[in-house]
Amino acid sequence: MTDILPYTTRGEADGRPPIVLLHGFAGDALGWTNVQLALARRRRSIAFDLPGHGRAFDWPEAGHAGVAAKAVTESLDGLGLPRIHLVGHSMGGAVASLIALRTPQRLASLTLVAPGGFGTEINHRILRRFAVARSEAEIAPLLEQFFGFEHAPPRRMAAQIAADRQTPGKVELLAAIAEAILDGPKQRTVDRRALGDLDIPVKVIWGTQDRILPTRQAHGLPGLIATHVFDGVGHMPHLEIHREVARLIGDQIAAE
């Protein structure tokens, strides 16, 4: 029997391809709550916890985006989902890109939110410091770096992360995952040019105040990829402007 990653689902199954949501590094499925609620009347959605994160903390293997892509693909098989609308944020965007390139027949659309892997530049210092931070006092100022200057992190988010970091081995595992997705001061990349050859709608969503992955990584994409850049938004569009992100995902699912 195939192991299935823990997931949170909203909306009713109706035979149409569901929306599958993949969170970023050090996140979990709960980060998609507002987006899922906004889309619940339109389509079923499934937000996975990626290996080493959230309820999948003790997953047998955790590491770089390729490891997570394999776990997600096997989970989709286990759930009997041959076709999906795929959405990924940050590290989850790199995971989603790999799934799209490896199994394009499975996707009805692809939406990437501040995706990882679109260039070598990354704020590796913040990522590494965030991975090993344990207390609310350490986490709160680092967390602010993930949001635009006018968008504060959700209330109690730092406290909730700090509580989760008390799980024995959690910080060490996150540090190991960070090193797996980084290559020294750089990040590993995906073939973003090949995404333009996919025979499905592809959207990229980014914020001009992203202090983790520079917005310029959204520049120069293949012409068929729709790019949406929001002024004043940081690295967390799905939390900062969840209504707009849900609307763009809704546009993606309209045709199937």
pTM of the model as a whole: 0.97
Residue showing tokens 């339109």? 42
Residue 138 makes CB contacts below 8 A (sequence gap 6+) with: 162
Q: What is the pLDDT of residue 1?
A: 46
Q: Is residue 156 part of a domain?
A: yes
Give me 142's structure tokens: 């680092």
Give me 125's structure tokens: 């210092």
Q: Is residue 154 part of a domain?
A: yes
Give me 39's structure tokens: 């889309």
Per-residue pLDDT tens for 203-231?
A: 999 999 999 999 999 999 999 999 999 99
Q: What is the pLDDT of residue 2?
A: 65
Residue pair 50/92 in contact (Cβ under 8 Å)? The answer is yes
- CATH number of the domain to which 167 belongs: 3.40.50.1820
Domain encompassing residue 41: 7-253
Report residues of the chain scoring pLDDT below 50.
1
- E-strand spans in the chain? 7-10, 19-22, 45-48, 84-89, 107-113, 182-183, 186-187, 202-207, 226-230
Report the alpha-carbon angle 145-148-150, nearest 5: 120
Q: Is residue 1 part of a domain?
A: no
Count of the separate structural domains present in the chain: 1
